[in-house]
Amino acid sequence: MHKKSATAVVALIVPVHNEEAAIVPFLSAVREHTDGLKKSNVAFDFIFVNDGSSDATLDRLIEARQADPRIQVIDLSRNFGKEAALTAGLDCCDADAAIPMDVDLQDPPSVIPLLIEKWREGFEVVLAKRASRASDSLLKQHSASMFYRIHNWIAQQKIPHDVGDFRLIDRQVIEALRALPERRRFMKGLFAWVGFRTATVEYIRDPRVAGRSKFSGWRLWNFALEGITSFSTAPLDIWTYVGAAISALSFLYGLVIIAKTLLFGIDVPGYASLLVSVLFLGGIQLLGIGIIGQYLGRVYAEIKQRPIYIVRRKYEGTR
């Protein structure tokens, strides 16, 4: 582990978007479980990334910073999304380790000492795995389970099941993530891709303390597509085989028609079967074009080389 002094500094990286009601309860709960670690020579910084909030979130953060100089606020110029906000937090982190977590307290601060303990044992990555998803809706539970199964089936780089962004990462891991140049980022996949010695602790996820989730069903669907296309070309490969199979079946069907014509005379097929065949093949082609479009869109976003995020202002902490 990277240590510059006897006291290790761990930064909590917290992306926020319209979470004004959750700031104070979050800080209160975190301090309750981290202040006691000072005796173990572990100090904490707080890096909040305001991801274009339209409510009073920034005001609450500035007020909290005035009361606690350990708090650093990064105010982005607009809403860039959680992955970009998390990247901004990691880019500004100069601590010995970082713990990304949500402000809604679904990731309980009581797990933080467990992460620190495993880190002290020499692990560079300590995952926080959800032992239960009972706090999620049934639809979200089943869709999440399906996503992990599909992703890990087709992707070369597997991601841990039921593990979100909540984890501890060592300084080495932070530097490795900073070195990755891609702009459209699927952080769960990037965390897994960089590797390093990894341990896991399990926890029960709590209900939200305030507000509501910013991830609608549509956003979760697009997020899943982002994860699959970021770490696998299997959809393109699969469509190659689908095209080959349809071509082979068409060829065989053509041979059947020729044989029937030679044996029984000219057979005039009905319009219904012809229309179904045309619509089916047209749908297959459009679906294939859509899959290609997903990958082409990623290439288009990367070659423009726009920054992942833009910082409007930083409110620096003073340790």
Most confident of 119-123, 159-163, 211-215, 259-263: 119-123
pTM: 0.71
Give the chain's domain count: 2
pLDDT at 133 over 80: no
Same domain, 177 and 282: no
Instruction: Classify residue 20: in a domain, yes or no.
Output: yes
Nearest of 82, 86, 102, 48 to residue 222 by alpha carbon: 82
Q: Pick the range with the lowest mean pLDDT from 14-18, 25-29, 54-58, 247-251.
A: 247-251
CATH code, domain carrying 178: 3.90.550.10
- Note down the domain range covering 264: 234-304
With 60 as the cut, is the pLDDT of residue 39 above it? Answer: yes
Is 224 within a domain? no
**In a shared domain, residues 213 and 239:** no
Share of the chain above pLDDT 70, in %: 72
- Whether 57 and 137 map to the same domain: the answer is yes
109 and 51 both lie in a single domain: yes
Question: Per-residue pLDDT tens for 203-246?
Answer: 877 665 555 555 555 566 566 666 666 666 667 777 777 777 77
107 neighbors 101 (Cβ within 8 angstroms): yes
- Segment 146-150 mean pLDDT: 68
Whether residue 226 is contained in a domain is answered as no
Task: State both tokens at 9.
Answer: 């500094």
Question: Do 271 and 170 fall within a single domain?
Answer: no
Would residue 162 count as lying in a domain?
Answer: yes
In a domain? residue 67:
yes
Phi, psi (deg, nearest 5) at residue 131: -75, -20
53-67 pLDDT tens trace? 888 888 889 888 888
- Is a pLDDT exceeding 50 seen at residue 145? yes
Question: Is residue 34 domain-shared with residue 75, that is, in the same domain?
Answer: yes
Rounded CA-CA distance 303/227 in Å is 19
Strands of 24-145 (E only): list them.
Answer: 42-50, 71-76, 97-100, 125-132
Position of tokens 């044992």? 121
Q: Average the pLDDT over 103-112 and give the result.
A: 85
Percentage helix, strand, coil for the chain under 3-state DSSP, each rounded to 5: 50, 20, 30
Query: Cα(18)–Cα(214) distance, rounded to whole angstroms?
Result: 9
* CA-only gyration radius of the chain, Å: 25
Q: Distance from CA of residue 196 to its chain's centroid?
A: 19
Q: Is 146 in the same domain as 288?
A: no
